[in-house]
Structure formats: structure tokens, C-alpha cells
Structure 1
């Protein structure tokens, strides 16, 4: 971030208490719009800014991810998401997000070797699972178990030490897939499958999900690559709700496991991490191809309350750059598994065709987004909807720990403490209960 000292914004405010003015510096990033630095606004005017939802507020500086929603651009450390998804592995992308540069072959080998050793969980954590009901949601198990990791790996809790921060970041990326897979196995009553240090990230994850003792499960490379792409495309997405939660909790100096557990809790919200599950539920509610026209008419009726799930995006105004990659991947998976006659997938393809040709949706930029295709791919892979948000968390852990490390290493960092616009009662005197009757 650069402070353009030749540029400033002048503000003149008139209120019931009088007039006030402020001169505020304008800060320029390396890309994207400039921002007005309002840190001295209250000192100069006695007022705070008001921005519910923080949609117009830059809460931090970051060099990790850049998004241009109008142009459909998503960059990680300057690299377009399309190039990473088509050419890099998830582990290579994780290294990039953590350290700011793509690894050399030697760096990549060392990183993978180290990460493989961190996949295993302390054996006592197996007992932790027994405290959950068998019908517990996998996200509940994931959230609770990740928070409990601080009781097992306390040598990485001193966030003031760079070595400890790095150790915890690697542990979280490596161990959360194991916890996620075990959460799934626990809810379906199958034995836990231990991680295999010889397998790449996504292949190992699929193996832990679907292998059983004695069945010699072999991961299909097409499906492993599809999983790798899903993970890459969900790895980080700037200052979204869960990432902001991780940074907020991290600003207090909380241990990294607590911070990531808080991020998982935020992701669990249906408005954030449950969009692909909602898209699948929408398809099931439509039922058949014949039901699409009537459904689309309801979507166009603003009074119907029916929304087209998996289309459009709050940030991307034209198209989601991640969706194009997953669209091709979705078709690859369907062809590989011979699912072209699956009624639900067939329905999805027809809905996609109609929506992308209908002027109503095209003019509003309601193109299929990453959630539309990721839900279809996960269903094709045999992953139940209860695990969809868990898969999202496995991917986003890379972004969370990268953002957490960046926040922790910022010399200008301070505890986050938003202000408010108070609309409650004014000061009043206490009345004894006998006088209130």
C-alpha cells in the first residue's frame, strides 16, 4: 500500500450539533480502487463512519488475493486463478498463498515431505470423536475437533514466533483433511482410514473418504484432479465473512487453532458456505426438465420469493472466473463416471443452458457460479450434501492460515474493535421494583 501524499479527500459535514470538516489521505494499492483513510475521522469531526456489513470498508492491507468483480478477475499473489487451477496442484497453490511465490522443485519437495508428516493425528484424538452423536453434522465435529487441536499441539501456540506460526499453519492444512474424512466415516459408522504419506493431497483425501479395510480402493486420477481443482478454486477469496472472522479472532492473539475453528463456524452459515448445497436442493425441488419453465417464471416474479441458486455472485458482476473451469471439470467427471443419464445432472445441464440463453438472466449477469458446478461434481463423486461445507473448509483452510499469518506479521496490527451507531434508550434513572408495579 502506498500513501499518495498529493491526494486527499475533503469532507464537510453539517449535523444537529454543528458543522465539522476533515481532510483525509487517499491510499493507493498496487491494483484496484484507492481508499480513503478514515482513521483520523473521529479525531477531526467527532464522528464515526457507518458501513453495515463492511461492504464499503477496507479493514486491512493484504498482498494475498485480488478480485475485480466487474471484470471477473481473481488473482492469487498476482497469478490468475485460471492458470493455477489448470497448471498447479493444490499443494503448490498452498505454498504460493503461504509464502508469496511459486516453489522451486526443491522447495516443493521439502514442503510436500513436511506436510505429509503432519497429516497424522495424535491417536488420542480418536477418542474425541466418541463424544459426538453418530448423527452429528460433520461441520460440528470439524469445528470442535479443530479447536481441540490446541490441547495436543501446544509447541506451535506462541504466535509471537515466526517458526511457531509456520508450524501451526502447516499442521492445520495437513490435519484438517484427516479430521474431515474421519468426521464423515464416524457419521456413517465406518472405520477411520489413516492418511497415506505416499499420496498427493487430493488423492489421499479421497482415499480417506472412500477406502475401507480390505477393499483395495484405488483413486481414479480424473476424480483426484477434479477434487484438486475444487480445492484450488476455493482456497482463498479475499476478505469474505469467514476470513474476516479469522482475522478478527487472530487480532486478539488467540491461538491459530481457535482462529481457524472460528472461521469454520462462520463458513457453516448457509449464506456463506452452504451455497452449493442450496443449489443442489433447488434442482431436487424442480424435479424434472418439464418443471424448469414454471420454476423460471417464479424466479422472474419478484414477489414469489424464489431465487435461482448457484447463479450470480455478490462480488462478480458478469461471470465467476472459477465457474468456467469447474464447468469443464464437471463434464469431465460426468463423462468419466458415465453419469450423462443421471436425471439430476441432466436437469442441471438443461437449467444451465436455459439460464445462459435467457435475456432476463444474461442482462442481470446471472451466470452459473462456482457453487453451481462444485455441488454437481461433489454429488457425482459420491460425497453427501452434509459434507459439502466441510470440503469448502478443507480448501479454505489454506487461505485462512495465509491471511492469519499475514495479519500476525503486520507490525501495524492491532486488536479489531468496530464502533456502532447507538439507537437505544438515552440515560435514565433506575426505578426500584416496588415502584414499577
Structure 2
């Protein structure tokens, strides 16, 4: 509800714009009345524009705070399983014991994919990027769940959410196996969500007794939780925009995956490892950081557009990183290089004053590399985890009346001009 009004004067005409307050965060000025003023607002990158109302996730970048349905992210990551967090994102509260058992069982029942979907993989080159495969095969799910899907039906929407969350680890692992030329491994219902993913990634038919490491399993589950949702980011906004047309939800999630693929979004942890390759050795770190200071090169995995303080997910990820590296006893020069970067960034006044702390992408990349997951799979894992957030926003949008997304623009092209025949053109 609007508490007070802001007043805007445009060409001597005064407009009253309602000021709306949420439960947390900045008040929002409703500028809908501007449509009668002859003006539109201009906000590149949507930096100060709130196109939706949501109850799912709250971020306070200044405080370094991230809440899912009111629960702090560190409490969720350290105490809840990813599927419990997914349930909370969808339903609004963490599940009780009965709800948890029921939700987990529903997920287990839907982890398999239609056998015909195997043929979709064969259409890709073996060296195709796994994200290219994921965009295709997740979009292809709409071919299997379309004719009998009514997005206005709440039960249909709920089973769609279950199917997507359940099948994403299977499809992600299949995209990896295909790129490696290895046979697909089918999901096992006796494994947890994270265990199942690791099993489908690393087991082979000759090693059916594969048991995921407990420390690695916990780390993987935390990685899923820490990437589950992040408010109205580029990919979530893409899912909502596609969903506003009434499009098939599987196609909407595929659109989200496409948006996530960009190096400025989900591809950031992949870019971290590429940066470490460019640096080469620990001896080169000081010189590289000096180049960062002079803006000759970009420091990947540090700082965040939203957080002006420490990324709250990064602290949990750092603790997990230390645990994984210690448990696996890995001595990797690239990981040593990453720790040297971290040390300078946390101690050098240049980086501290600018709040260029390591973010979640920096640590997640190190953990995934230590586990044995190739860089090309990093963003795939991000998309797997973020599916619970994407589908929660899609569900929220469809649970109330909504309008099709239609942003405006500031046109700076040619004005009216007459057509000229080709022989008369200069």
C-alpha cells in the first residue's frame, strides 16, 4: 500500500507518484502515472527500477545480507539441505518433517528423463560447450511436456517445478558425459540430491559401487544452496519476462540458462580459472595485481555489483573451500595461486578500501576444480542450482495477475526519411 506520495513537476504539470514501502529495503516510487505525462523514465541496466513485487529473496548490498523467504543464507547453507531450501523458495517456509519427506520423495520419482531425449545429445558435436547442450535439452523438455500442460492450473505448475528441479542434475551430468564420450549414468534413488549428481558425473558402468566422498557431497550441496536464488538478476528477469508471455515453462528456464551463460553473470567462476591460467605462477601475482590497480587487467571473482560489502555467500564458501582442500589433500599450483590472490586482496588497502573482497564465484571455482569438475561445467552447475529460484519466481508470477513485459526505449536513430530506389542511392 502507498503511504505517501512523491511529487514530480514536468513542464509545469505536477504528478503525484505513490511511494510504496515493502517489508524490507528502500521505498519504491510508482511511476505508472508518467504514462500520461508524455515522458518515459530512462534507466540503463535497470539499476533503480523494480518491475516486479516479490516475496522470495531480499538482498541488502550495503550490509552484505541475503535472505531467502526471510532466512539468512549462511543459516540455510550451514544447516539445511538444498532441497529444503528449494521447498522454502517455492512454498514460502522451510518444510516440516512430513513435508520434507514428501517433497524429497517427489523429486526422487522424477529424476529420470525420457529415453528419447538421449537422441538430442547425439545432435551436438562432442566438443560442444555443456551450456550450449543445456540450453537445447532443457528447452527440448517442452516437447515432452506441452500438450497436457496448463500453466493456469496450480497442480500443473507444481509438477512442473518438481520435474525441473529433479531432472536438472540428470541433464547436467549427461551433458558432461556426452562431452567426455562416456556412457550416461542413470540416477539412483538411494542417493541424496548432491550424491546423485556426483554419482552421475563420475561413476561409470564399470564402477557401479562408486560412493561420493562425504565432504565433497556436503560441499556440493552448499554450492547448490548458495546459488539457489539471487533476486531479480539478469537470468531470473529473463525467466520472468519469457514467462510473462505465457510461454512453456521449460522454454522459460532454457531462456534463463542462456542468460546465465554470459561471463558477467553465471560464467564468472569459469572466468576466474581462466584468469589464473593467464597469471601462470605465484611469482607473477604481485605484478598482476599492480596491473589490476592501474586498470590494465580485470580482477575476476572479486567484488560484486550488488554487494558493497562482503558477499555473504563467500564466507560460507571460503570455509567450505578450506574443508574440501584439507580433506582431499590437494596440492595444485593453480589453487596455491588463487590463495595468493586472496591474501593480497584481503590485505592490500587498494582492494580493501574498494570492497573488492573475494565473492562466491572465486571460491566456488576453486572447490569445483578441486573436486575434479572441468571449467566448462561450472556454469552448468550454477544453472542446475538456480533452477529452484527461477521456477519459484515463475510460480510466483503465475499465482497472481500479471502483465506481459514490455520495456520502453530512448530512440536515437534516424528520423523519417523517404525510400530511394537502389539506382538513385549515393
TM-score by length of 2: 0.98
Matched residue, 1:282? 275
1:421 aligns with 2:403: no
Matched residue, 2:285? 292
Q: 1:270 to 1:214 in 2, by over 3 A?
A: same
CA distance in 1, matches of 2:380, 2:183: 19
Q: Structure 1 residue aligned with 2:186, among 182, 185, 194? A: 194
Matched residue, 1:83? 75
1:352 aligns with 2:352: no
- 2:146–2:248: 8 Å Cα contact kept in structure 1? no
- Larger CA deviation: 129-138 vs 185-194: 129-138
Matched residue, 1:251? 244
CA distance in 1, matches of 2:328, 2:61: 34
Once the two structures are superposed, the pairs formed by residues 20-419 of structure 1 within 5 Å of their partners are 20-43=13-36, 45-154=37-146, 157-215=149-207, 216-302=209-295, 304=296, 306-339=297-330, 341-411=331-401, 413-419=402-408
Matched residue, 1:3? 2
Q: Deviations over 1:304-328 (max 9, x none)?
A: 2x01111100000011000000001
CA distance in 1, matches of 2:198, 2:220: 8
Structure 1 residue 155: Cα displacement = 6.2
Q: Deviations over 1:394-424 (max 9, x none)?
A: 000000000000011122x110001111111
Structure 1 residue 377: Cα displacement = 0.2
- 2:177–2:183: 8 Å Cα contact kept in structure 1? yes
Structure 1 residue 429: Cα displacement = 2.1
- 1:245–1:262: 8 Å Cα contact kept in structure 2? yes
Q: 1:392 to 1:156 in 2, by over 3 A?
A: farther
- 1:156–1:167: 8 Å Cα contact kept in structure 2? no
Structure 1 residue 132: Cα displacement = 1.0
CA distance in 2, matches of 1:435, 1:203: 69
Structure 1 residue 272: Cα displacement = 0.8
- 1:156–1:165: 8 Å Cα contact kept in structure 2? no
Q: Deviations over 1:266-311 (max 9, x none)?
A: 0011111111011111112112221111111101103x2x011111
Q: Deviations over 1:137-192 (max 9, x none)?
A: 11111110111111112366210100111111110011111011001000101010
Q: Deviations over 1:368-407 (max 9, x none)?
A: 1000000000000000000000000000000000000001
What RMSD in Å do the two structures reach over aligned CA positions?
A: 1.1
CA distance in 2, matches of 1:410, 1:427: 42
Give ranges in structure 1 of 5+ residues lacking alignment.
none
- 1:158–1:255: 8 Å Cα contact kept in structure 2? no
Structure 1 residue 436: Cα displacement = 2.5
Give ranges in structure 2 of 5+ residues lacking alignment.
none
Structure 1 residue 20: Cα displacement = 3.2
Secondary structure of the residue aligned to 1:66 is strand
CA distance in 2, matches of 1:133, 1:80: 42
Task: Say how many residue pairs are matched.
Answer: 425
- 1:157–1:256: 8 Å Cα contact kept in structure 2? no
Q: Deviations over 1:100-150 (max 9, x none)?
A: 011010111011111101100011111221111111111111110111111
Secondary structure of the residue aligned to 2:115 is coil
Secondary structure of the residue aligned to 2:32 is coil
TM-score by length of 1: 0.96
CA distance in 2, matches of 1:276, 1:289: 19
CA distance in 2, matches of 1:288, 1:428: 59
Q: Deviations over 1:58-91 (max 9, x none)?
A: 0100000000000000000000000000000001
CA distance in 1, matches of 2:112, 2:158: 17
CA distance in 2, matches of 1:155, 1:197: 29
Structure 1 residue 425: Cα displacement = 1.5
Secondary structure of the residue aligned to 1:154 is coil
- 2:150–2:156: 8 Å Cα contact kept in structure 1? yes
- Larger CA deviation: 22-31 vs 282-291: 282-291
Secondary structure of the residue aligned to 1:206 is helix
Structure 1 residue 214: Cα displacement = 2.3
CA distance in 2, matches of 1:434, 1:123: 58
